[in-house]
Structure 1
Amino acid sequence: VIKLNNRVKPLYSTEGRESNMNEPNKVAIITGAGSGVGRYAALALLNDGFAVVLAGRRAEALDETLALAGTDTANALSVPTDVTDPAAVKRLFEGTKNRFGRLDLLFNNAGMGAPAKPLEELTVKQWTDVVAVNLTGSFLCTQEAFRLMKTQDPMGGRIINNGSVSAHAPRPNSAPYTSTKHAITGLTKSTSLDGRKYDIACGQIDIGNAATDMTARMKDGVQQADGRTVPEPTMHVDNVSRAI
Structure 2
Amino acid sequence: MTTALHRARFTDRTAMVTGAGSGIGRAIALALAAEGGHVVAVGRRQELLEETVALIEEAGGKALAVSADVARATDVQAAAAAAVEHFGSLDVAVNNAGVFRGGAPLADLTEEDWHTQLDVNVTGVFLALRAEIQQMRTQPTGGAIVNIASIFGAHARNPGAAAYAATKAAVSALTRGAALDHIGDGIRINAVSPGAVQTPMSLRPGETDADRSARARATLPLGRISTTREVAAAVLYLASDDASSVVGTDLVVDSGATA
TM-score, normalised by the number of residues in structure 2: 0.79
Alpha carbons 1:27, 1:51 under 8 Å: kept:
yes
Q: For 1:128 and 1:58, how far apart are their aligned partners in 2?
A: 21
Work out whether residues 12 and 242 of structure 1, in 8 Å CA contact, stay in contact via their aligned partners in 2: no
Alignment of 1:180-219 (within 5 A): 180-217=167-204, 219=209
Is 2:14 the counterpart of 1:27? yes
CA distance in 2: counterparts of 1:197 and 1:138, whole angstroms:
20
Contact (CA 8 Å) 1:210, 1:236: kept in 2 or not?
A: yes
CA contact (8 A) 2:21 2:49 kept: yes
Distance in 2 of aligned mates of 1:186 and 1:136: 13
Letter of the 1:240 partner, please give it: V
The CA deviation at 1:212 is 1.4
C-alpha contact (below 8 Å) 1:107/1:160 kept by paired residues:
yes
Please list, as runs of the form range in 1=range in 2, the aligned pairs for 1:1-244 lying within 5 A after superposition.
Answer: 13-14=5-6, 25-72=12-59, 75-152=62-139, 154-167=140-153, 168-217=155-204, 219=209, 220=211, 233-244=224-235
- Contact kept, 8 Å, 1:12 with 1:48, in 2: the verdict is no
What is the CA RMSD across the aligned residues, in angstroms?
Answer: 2.5
- Identity fraction in percent: 36
Code of the residue aligned with 2:133 in structure 1: it is F
| Superimposed CA distance per residue, residues 72-103 of structure 1 (whole angstroms, 9 cap, x where no aligned partner) | 46520100110001111111011111111111
Which digits, 9 at most, give the CA deviation of each residue in 1:9-34, with x for residues without a partner?
Answer: xx95226x8x9xxx960110000000
- Is 1:36–1:214's contact at 8 Å kept on the other side of the alignment? no
2:150 and 2:193 in contact (8 A); partners too? yes
Structure 1 CA distance for aligned equivalents of residues 41 and 103 of structure 2:
29
Segments of 5+ residues of structure 2 without an aligned counterpart are 236-259
Counterparts of 2:161 and 2:34, CA distance in 1: 35
Q: Offset of 1:35 from its aligned partner?
A: 0.7
Runs of 4+ in 1 over 6 A off after TM superposition: none
Residues 174 and 14 of structure 1: CA distance in aligned 2, closer, same or farther (over 3 Å) = same
Q: CA deviation at 1:150?
A: 0.6
Q: What CA deviation, in whole Å up to 9, does each residue of 1:191-228 have, x standing for no partner? A: 1101121011111111111211222446546xx9xxxx
Q: CA deviation at 1:70?
A: 4.1
The question of whether the paired residues in 2 share the 8 Å contact of 1:192 and 1:201 is answered with yes
Q: CA deviation at 1:68?
A: 2.4
Query: Contact between 2:34 and 2:61, CA under 8 Å: does it hold in 1?
Result: no
